[in-house]
């Protein structure tokens, strides 16, 4: 685990870049990522089941679980804080198996998603909940590209510059939440 943030280009340049990220690494993401929440994920899985193309590429791409607020005058987007990742767990393995490189949200992932991340070149990162206004300032462009009828949950293509996150689940099967809590459990006698 490094303590200085790693500058990382998204989409990820290669599988090796994804595999080099370790749970606990702080990262500053720059480039392009996509937004999608539960309703959009449900539609994407339904599209896959019908044999349709997805509205976004998956290979080494990153999906941010966010439903941004409307932009104030002079801004490209409003507050853009993460939503709880567990809500999209039922849909996530199918996207990871098709090449998704990363996800950003908040909170824990279920065992099936963590196992899928470890089997494939994928990472789960967390952004700070409650800091949506600040995170929105790291987004330099935003465009609705699919499911516009979902409003705030529409799929957007975002351009980000030094977007802060921390790697929670890596390809080595490590969960940073578990690692970070272990010393406190020992100190409190919970183990």
pLDDT given for residue 80 in this prediction = 97
Q: Which domain holds residue 49?
A: 6-187
User: Which CATH number fits the domain that encloses residue 104?
Assistant: 3.20.130.10
For residue 34, tell me if it sits in a domain: yes
Give DSSP secondary structure letters for the chain. --SSPEEEEES-S-HHHHHH--TT-EEEEEEEEEE--HHHHHHHHHHHHHTPPPSS--BT-EEE-B-PPPPPTT-S-----B-BGGGGTTTHHHHHHTTB-EEEEBS---HHHHHHHHHTT-EEEE--TT-HHHHHTTEEEEEEEE-GGGGGGSEEEEEEEEEEEEEEE-TTS-BHHHHHHHHHHHHTT--
For residue 130, tell me if it sits in a domain: yes
pLDDT given for residue 54 in this prediction = 97
pLDDT given for residue 189 in this prediction = 58
pLDDT given for residue 29 in this prediction = 98
For residue 119, tell me if it sits in a domain: yes
For residue 159, tell me if it sits in a domain: yes
For residue 45, tell me if it sits in a domain: yes
pLDDT given for residue 185 in this prediction = 72
pLDDT given for residue 76 in this prediction = 96
From first to last of its 191 residues, the chain has per-residue pLDDT tens of: 557 999 999 999 999 999 999 999 999 999 999 999 999 999 999 999 999 999 999 999 999 999 999 999 999 999 999 999 999 999 999 999 999 999 999 999 999 999 999 999 999 999 998 899 999 999 999 999 999 999 999 999 999 999 999 999 999 999 999 998 877 777 665 55
pLDDT given for residue 2 in this prediction = 53
Number of domains forming the structure of the chain: 1
Q: What is the pLDDT of residues 98-148, one digit of tens each?
A: 999 999 999 999 999 999 999 999 999 999 988 999 999 999 999 999 999
For residue 1, tell me if it sits in a domain: no
């Amino acid at each position: 685990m490094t303590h200085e943030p790693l500058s990382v280009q998204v989409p990820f340049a290669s599988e090796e870049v994804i595999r080099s990220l370790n749970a606990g690494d702080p990262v500053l993401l720059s480039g392009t990522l996509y937004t999608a929440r539960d309703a959009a994920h449900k539609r994407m899985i339904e599209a896959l089941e019908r044999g349709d193309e997805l509205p976004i590429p998956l290979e080494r791409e990153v999906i941010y679980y966010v439903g941004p607020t409307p932009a104030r005058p002079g801004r490209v987007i409003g507050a853009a804080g993460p939503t709880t990742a567990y809500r999209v767990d039922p849909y996530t393995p199918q996207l990871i198996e098709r090449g998704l490189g990363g996800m950003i949200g908040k909170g824990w992932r279920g065992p099936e998603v963590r196992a899928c991340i470890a089997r494939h070149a994928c990472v789960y990162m967390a952004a700070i909940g409650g800091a949506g206004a600040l995170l929105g300032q790291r987004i330099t462009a935003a465009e609705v590209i699919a499911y516009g009828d979902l409003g705030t949950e529409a799929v957007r293509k975002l351009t980000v510059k030094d977007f802060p996150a921390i790697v929670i689940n890596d390809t080595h099967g490590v969960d940073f939440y578990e690692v970070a809590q272990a010393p406190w459990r020992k100190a409190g006698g919970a183990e």
